[in-house]
A and B are shown apart, each in its own frame.
Chain A
């Protein structure tokens, strides 16, 4: 199967999985499972930035609409990630991976580079998401707890998806 087609199928499957998780998986109000940042960072690195911004915004908005969330929350956070994912890639990953079209698989680079990269991406994503979701409603304590839990849980999940799905797709 052509790698581009495989990539698109994985994207659609993960988008549907995200919607199903949002609608049917009850993990309490502190945990929000989110695969969107992972979808954004696996957009091609050689793509024009404005295309990445539009795709990220569209992905976020699609999840907001299909999973009865607050409209704009995922869209805004995903757009922020789309702006920085490429700028963040070069300082973190090794120089021999710069020519790649996508973020290199774990086996071709370093696990800790991936962990650091995804940690920063998720930290930025949830900074936007939780700030606007709890806007003047939640206490700082609840919002902080939610932030830390979301980043930690999603980092582990993202690494698992990263290693299993995306490593084979390139």
Chain B
């Protein structure tokens, strides 16, 4: 009788263990950022309130860093403005590179670049015109892609994710490669798929190529700091990012004008 009870308990334990592990693995596998945001919307909105309060304290402590970054950005924007005014005067240009994109300023509510799958929460949502798959940038960094959007907030899949790759260009040689996070530091990335014959060298600047409609072209993102691994016809280099994504506060959400038309044409050609 006792041995039957023991066997019953053992079977129950094994069955429960298998069921719990299966449930955990299903959760892990189906745990895309989007699903998480939708499933846990209620929990998130209360967490956002708490994060906002604690971020205020953290922001206060890092004000000098933010000021420095804003000053630098301001200087660059002034020079851009001067260039635009010059172009308009000279050519009466109606559409410039910047004019092709809609820029929505946003501030970061939650940024925890501490994991292998990082994301951010921004204080802009669908009521501000934000849609999924918009790019998020600063004047010198690729921040990520909008994943999910609620009325007042959006969740951004950070560039600091092992599966995020961005088309980038080396200014010195005009070679194109794929820029991805190195998985270790929030200020370093790897530019891979560069032709083996490329003459790129340490110190060359890396900018966005503009070959996708997510990120505008020519945003400087980093500087080549060393050689990586060569394999087959390609090589890779390490890139020091111009901005450490850990210390971000203000970003821009960008959308290319006429994105719907481009998507429609892409879909038609795929069909």
Q: Is the CB of A79 within 8 A of B116?
A: no
- Judge whether B107 is part of the interface by a CB distance below 8 angstroms: no
Q: Is the CB of A27 within 8 A of B16?
A: no
**Minimum C-beta distance from B2 to chain A (A):** 15
- Judge whether B45 is part of the interface by a CB distance below 8 angstroms: no
- Judge whether B82 is part of the interface by a CB distance below 8 angstroms: no
Contact check: which of B17, B23, B183 meets A29 at CB < 8 Å?
A: B183
- Which residues from chain A contact B40 at a C-beta distance below 8 Å? 65
- Judge whether A28 is part of the interface by a CB distance below 8 angstroms: yes
Partner-contacting stretch, out of B26-34, B72-80, B127-135, B249-257: B26-34
- Judge whether A169 is part of the interface by a CB distance below 8 angstroms: no
Q: Is the CB of B13 within 8 A of A70?
A: no
- Judge whether A119 is part of the interface by a CB distance below 8 angstroms: no
Q: Is the CB of B31 within 8 A of A70?
A: yes
- Judge whether A72 is part of the interface by a CB distance below 8 angstroms: yes
With contacts A70-B28, A72-B26, A142-B184 known, is A133 near B116, CB below 8 A?
yes
- Judge whether B24 is part of the interface by a CB distance below 8 angstroms: yes
Contact check: which of B13, B31, B116, B160 meets A72 at CB < 8 Å?
A: B31
- Which residues from chain B contact A48 at a C-beta distance below 8 Å? 9
Hey, what's the 0/1 contact readout for B157-200 against A, CB within 8 Å counting as 1? 00010110000000000000000000111000000000000000
- Which residues from chain B contact A69 at a C-beta distance below 8 Å? 115
- Which residues from chain A contact B163 at a C-beta distance below 8 Å? 137
Partner-contacting stretch, out of A8-16, A35-43, A50-58: A50-58
With contacts A27-B114, A138-B183 known, is A50 near B28, CB below 8 A?
no
- Judge whether B65 is part of the interface by a CB distance below 8 angstroms: no
Contact check: which of A71, A80, A83 meets B28 at CB < 8 Å?
A: A71
With contacts A53-B16, A53-B20 known, is A134 near B9, CB below 8 A?
no
- Which residues from chain A contact B112 at a C-beta distance below 8 Å? 23, 26, 68
**Minimum C-beta distance from A157 to chain B (A):** 17
- Judge whether A158 is part of the interface by a CB distance below 8 angstroms: no
- Judge whether A153 is part of the interface by a CB distance below 8 angstroms: no
28 inter-chain pairs at a CB distance below 8 angstroms, sorted by A residue, are: A25-B114, A26-B113, A26-B246, A29-B184, A48-B9, A49-B13, A53-B13, A53-B16, A54-B16, A60-B24, A65-B43, A68-B47, A70-B28, A71-B27, A72-B24, A72-B25, A72-B26, A72-B31, A75-B23, A75-B24, A76-B28, A79-B20, A132-B25, A132-B28, A133-B116, A135-B28, A137-B116, A142-B184
